[in-house]
Amino acid sequence: MHSARPKVLHPLAGRPLVAHVLDAVRELSPRALVLVVGHGGDAVRDALAAPDLAFVTQDPPRGTGDAVRVALAALPDDDGVTLVVNGDCPLIPAATFAALSDLAAAGKLAVLTAHVSDPAGLGRVVRDIRGGVQAIVEEKDATPAERAIAEIYTGAMAAPTALLRRFASRLDDDNAQREFYLTAVVATAVRESIAVEAHVAADETDVLGVNDRAQLAAIERIVQLRTADALMRAGTTLADPARIDIRGVLRCGRDVRIDVGCVFEGTVELGDDVEIAPNCVLRDVTIGAGTRIEAFCHVDSATIGERCRVGPYARLRPRAALAAEVHIGNFVEVKASDVGQGAKANHLAYIGDSTVGAHVNVGAGTIVANYDGVYKHRTTIGDGASIGSNCVLVAPVNIGKGATIGAGSTITIDAPDEELTLARTRQVTISGWKRPAKKAAPK
């Protein structure tokens, strides 16, 4: 990956690569769950710490067989079955892991294989003339005939725990890599007449792994297209399913419409008839029914009510909460503020740390000066107030119900209900004044 970040922590659909694997495994309700870490192990522990997950360290890294031996030492005694999976193969479904575990519960050594179009770099599955699995051969140790085999081992395996302990203890490093290969247990099982059964993946894309950023990007598109397909089948309209990125959870009501280039992060909930215009970024947002988000909006950790209009080019920052029928227009920013029903800020405004009443109108160029250099202060604007263009409300300050603030005012003192308040310098014209002119340059 050419990265300081451990491979399994690189993001896939907004979450660490290995988190997708853990999700699938957790669907089996395992009694114990162990993650083997090596280089960058502290970062992995910090990112994935959970009550049901134990970590063990393989140091130095000496192959998959050695990793399993390290993990087995942290697992319960020799009962049940052990499932071994790779942290960089995020698309294998839980049902496939369950099928492997069921085979192991019947006393078999179960391996997950797949027929692939390009087996380069992967271990090949060698079968006998009756089709039984005889061995798994790593590519660097394979003969030319074995390299021509298109069935590969995916890295997933299940076996009775006692059996896996016994086989793992006998592994040696007599191979080109001088590593302990877990795949060698297959040949051991065959020699001891233990049944080895391959569960062949139905779709080769399910078993794709990540070894570089190009493969990660390819798997990202698979995940995104699958998610987009599920949304469309559930009734969401996507202008182009190839141009949407869902990096978390997106829940949509009926008749939701999403245009191209939109990114959804964290948990986003869209009510019925919500429309998202092109190139918006939404993170941890709840949007009420009938609301439209215009193009190029950024909405982060905010709540938007029903029948609102936001944007284009608007920014809602954390703890912005819009009631129903609010209009937030182009180049308007709202942060840590409650905006009442029917209020409008249609152009070029900043509303921060404020409580804005119902049916307030905030004029173009108006800002709430909420920060004194040390502390943030709160502003309250009463129902029905009208704030003229180019005003500065210097917090803490209260604007009364129905108050009108004249354009260009800087308000530092509370303005009363139902009155016009002005705070402007007196306009003066200087008669006869001439604008300075540049002197001609000397020749």
Q: Is 184 exposed, middle or buried (0-12, 13-18, 19+ CB in 10 A)?
A: buried
Compute the average pLDDT of residues 21-35.
97
- DSSP symbol at 384: T
Confidence of residue 135 (pLDDT cuts 50, 70, 90): very high
Structural domain containing residue 99? 7-207
Beta-bridge mates of residue 438: none
Weakest-pLDDT range from 118-132, 263-277, 385-399: 118-132
Mean of the per-residue pLDDT values of the chain: 95
**How many structural domains comprise the chain?**
2
Confidence of residue 438 (pLDDT cuts 50, 70, 90): confident
From start to end of 182-221, where are the E strands? 196-200
Confidence of residue 436 (pLDDT cuts 50, 70, 90): confident
Res 197: pLDDT: 95
Residue range 248-262, pLDDT digits in tens: 999 999 999 999 999
User: Which of 111, 92, 118, 99 minimizes the C-alpha distance to 219?
Assistant: 92
Buried b (16+ CB within 10 A) or exposed e, 340-361: bbbbbbbebbbbbbbbbbbbbb
User: Do 34 and 170 lie in a common domain?
Assistant: yes
H or E segment and range at residue 268:
strand 262-270
Paired tokens of 81: 């079955």
The H-assigned helical ranges of 85-208 are: 94-105, 144-147, 161-169, 184-191
pTM: 0.90
Q: Does residue 250 lie within any of the structural domains?
A: yes
Catalytic member of 2, 20, 39, 347 = 347
User: Do 62 and 141 lie in a common domain?
Assistant: yes
User: Do 203 and 242 lie in a common domain?
Assistant: no
Torsion of CA 438, 439, 442, 443, to 10 degrees: 70
Res 176: pLDDT: 74
User: Do 190 and 297 lie in a common domain?
Assistant: no
User: Do 253 and 400 lie in a common domain?
Assistant: yes
Q: Does residue 252 lie within any of the structural domains?
A: yes
Residue range 348-358, pLDDT digits in tens: 999 999 999 99
Confidence of residue 243 (pLDDT cuts 50, 70, 90): very high
User: Do 131 and 252 lie in a common domain?
Assistant: no
Please, what is the end-to-end C-alpha distance for the chain in angstroms?
A: 64
From start to end of 105-191, where are the E strands? 109-115, 124-127, 133-137, 151-160
Q: What percent of the chain has pLDDT over 90?
A: 90
The whole-angstrom separation of Cα 180 and Cα 349 is 64
Res 286: pLDDT: 98
Q: Does residue 107 lie within any of the structural domains?
A: yes
Residue range 307-347, pLDDT digits in tens: 999 999 999 999 999 999 999 999 999 999 999 999 999 99
User: Do 277 and 197 lie in a common domain?
Assistant: no
Distances (CA, A) of 170 to 126, 173, 184, 192: 21, 10, 9, 13
Res 439: pLDDT: 84
Res 443: pLDDT: 74
Contact 381, 354 (CB under 8 A): yes
Q: Does residue 426 lie within any of the structural domains?
A: no
User: Do 290 and 415 lie in a common domain?
Assistant: yes
Q: What CATH number should be reported for the domain holding residue 276?
A: 2.160.10.10
Known catalytic residue at 347 = yes
Residue range 275-302, pLDDT digits in tens: 999 999 999 999 999 999 999 999 999 9
User: For strand 309-310 and strand 321-322, is the pairing parallel, antiparallel, or unpaired?
Assistant: unpaired
- Is the preceding omega at residue 312 within 30 degrees of 0, hence cis? yes
Res 174: pLDDT: 80
User: Which of 367, 332, 369, 325 minimizes the C-alpha distance to 348?
Assistant: 332
**Domain's final residue, options 152, 186, 207:** 207
User: Do 69 and 196 lie in a common domain?
Assistant: yes
The whole-angstrom separation of Cα 240 and Cα 243 is 5
Q: Does residue 443 lie within any of the structural domains?
A: no
Q: Does residue 314 lie within any of the structural domains?
A: yes
User: Do 271 and 158 lie in a common domain?
Assistant: no
Confidence of residue 415 (pLDDT cuts 50, 70, 90): very high
Res 74: pLDDT: 93
User: Do 275 and 322 lie in a common domain?
Assistant: yes
CA 270: distance to chain centroid?
17
User: Do 260 and 173 lie in a common domain?
Assistant: no
Residue range 72-123, pLDDT digits in tens: 999 988 789 999 999 999 999 999 999 999 999 999 999 999 999 999 889 9
From start to end of 166-302, where are the E strands? 196-200, 237-238, 244-252, 257-258, 262-270, 275-276, 281-287, 292-293, 298-300
Q: What CATH number should be reported for the domain holding residue 126?
A: 3.90.550.10
The whole-angstrom separation of Cα 76 and Cα 216 is 34
Distances (CA, A) of 393 to 343, 350, 399: 17, 10, 9
Q: Does residue 433 lie within any of the structural domains?
A: no
Q: Does residue 417 lie within any of the structural domains?
A: yes
Q: Check pLDDT > 90 for residue 39.
A: no
The whole-angstrom separation of Cα 287 and Cα 377 is 27
Coil, helix or strand for 16? strand
